[in-house]
Amino acid sequence: MTVDEGTRWSIIASGEGANRISFLYYAKFRNPVIGDRVLLLNTSTADVKPEKTFDYILSREPGFRETFEKIKREKICIFGKSPSGAGNNWKVGENEAREDFDTIRRYIANLGIGGRDVIMGITTLGGGTGNGSLPYIMNRLKYGDVAVSPGENSYMAFGILPYDFEASQRFFNTVCGITRLLKFGEEGRQNADMLLLVDNSQVENILGITSDTREERYHRINQEIIKAISMMIAPGGRQARSTIDISDYYQLPSNIGTYHFTPCMSLGNDPEIFSIETALDTAINRPMVPVDPKTATMAYIIVVAPEKYIERGIFSQEELERITRDWAVKNLAGRRGGVLRYSSLVSSNEKDTLDVMILLGGFSLKGIISKCLQKYYDFKESLEVDRGHIEVADADDPRIRVRIRVEDIERIEERIKEYISITELKIKRAKKREIDLQAKLKEWGF
Ligand SMILES: Nc1nc2c(ncn2[C@@H]2O[C@H](COP(=O)(O)OP(=O)(O)OP(=O)(O)O)[C@@H](O)[C@H]2O)c(=O)[nH]1
Ligand SMILES: [Mg+2]
């Protein structure tokens, strides 16, 4: 399938961190692929103005003020009736989105999503507002009464994991959030078509961020996430040389049953000096979550190179496919280099650098889960069970309390365990030894 027209994308960002990322994206990288299709959702806080979220970025980049005024008028939807947000409680985030869905629906309708558009949801996983509402909203869009082109849109979700040092409730939220983005509702239907995971601590290590203000540290991570989003969008644009289209991103992973990914990037390389091989080797050492690449069963490789290098034949799609095949055999799970691989060469007439992103997928979730589990249990065990329910109150604001059915928590655990077991099975299969061809041929009567 060749891409004649660019795929259109929309961004739906819920919660504070996600709002910052999307605002920065919109203010800095607005392009025809996204157009004006950006929606920022947050819960209301009686004492804090929504602007506070953007204070730092606006003081750092005063030029963004005008864009901010426009966003504020048209694209920020404050939902829910709770007096002070979701209080870091995902169940509140979900309930508020459900109760106020008519408001959310109106804003989504204004986005003008259509055709085979890709809808990218963004949320931090440690919080309550985004992490609680995005899985609900995504599920409702995908299967419910608001889908613009039912069955045709694709849904990507970006989930951002907390820093290692954050409080236990954040990790309880994270485990629930990952699960609910993967599967949702009574039936546990597949929710996001593709879940992209990024970890704050990991990104900070990769970038060697040492700044001491929290705002600047977030800002640096957010910029990196935005670069990953831009690289994802690139192959759908008009200049892609390959046959990869955004729908290919997720269709096969869904069939395989695992659909979690993480970006690994090597950007800004000088094409005179850097080969694609070297850039790939750099990228694989920079995954945005803790992961052992040797367990990855899928990789989408996106290479953006200056137009003139492609015209001169220095980089070509055929060559890229050969390189990535060899690279995958060396770096991914099993002898064949995973089970699924796409590569896409995009020519750029704006950049003069060689940029590479690997979307690594299907890897063992052990690195992520082991980071979460201690605190997940610390939090869970601190909760009082009362007639099949637990009650979670906000430490700072006891007005915010909510009951969650123990049954629901158990279901979440079962689901994530099941997903993990499918993932591990696929990895094991990919690593399985080759058949003994001679013996098999004999068995077949030759
Ligand atoms: N990368 C990044 N992470 C952030 C940012 N802001 C907050 N976080 C992380 O996100 C988690 C908190 O989520 P928020 O986005 O503040 O929460 P929320 O969705 O508004 O939900 P509430 O709990 O109701 O406030 C923590 O793990 C933070 O470390 C940001 O700008 N960038
Ligand atoms: Mg918040």
pTM: 0.94
> What phi, psi does 35 have (nearest 5°)?
55, -135
Cα–Cα distance between 440 and 435 in angstroms, integer?
7
Tell me, in angstroms, the distance from the centre of ligand 2 to residue 78's CA: 11
Cα–Cα distance between 230 and 33 in angstroms, integer?
10
Question: Is residue 46 predicted with pLDDT exceeding 60?
Answer: no
CA angle 179, 367, 362 (to 5 degrees): 60
**Ligand 1 atom nearest to 88, measured from its CA:** 23
Tell me, in angstroms, the distance from the centre of ligand 1 to residue 59's CA: 19
Segment 336-346 shows an average pLDDT of: 90
Segment 6-18 shows an average pLDDT of: 91
Tell me, in angstroms, the distance from the centre of ligand 2 to residue 265's CA: 29
Question: Is residue 155 predicted with pLDDT exceeding 80?
Answer: yes
The pLDDT assigned to 18 comes to 97
The pLDDT assigned to 385 comes to 86
Tell me, in angstroms, the distance from the centre of ligand 1 to residue 385's CA: 27
The pLDDT assigned to 144 comes to 80
Which residue type is seen at 398? P
- Domain boundaries in the chain? 9-256
Torsion, CA 285, CA 317, CA 259, CA 334, rounded to 10: -60
What distance lies between CA 207 and its chain's CA centroid? 19
Torsion, CA 125, CA 128, CA 129, CA 131, rounded to 10: 30
pLDDT, one tens digit per residue, over 238-276 is: 666 665 666 667 666 777 899 999 999 999 999 999 999
Tell me, in angstroms, the distance from the centre of ligand 2 to residue 315's CA: 45
200 CB near ligand 1 (under 6 Å): yes
pLDDT band at 433 (very low <50, low <70, confident <90, very high): confident
**Ligand 1 atom nearest to 161, measured from its CA:** 27
Nearest bound ligand to the CA of residue 15: 1
Cα–Cα distance between 438 and 441 in angstroms, integer?
5
% residues pLDDT > 70 (the chain):
91
**Among 79, 124, 229, residue to substitute to test ligand 1 (most atoms within 8 Å of Cβ):** 124
The pLDDT assigned to 114 comes to 81
Q: Under CATH, what is the fold of the domain 9-256? A: Rossmann fold (3.40.50)
Question: Is residue 397 predicted with pLDDT exceeding 80?
Answer: no
pLDDT, one tens digit per residue, over 82-122 is: 666 677 889 999 999 999 999 999 999 998 888 788 999 99
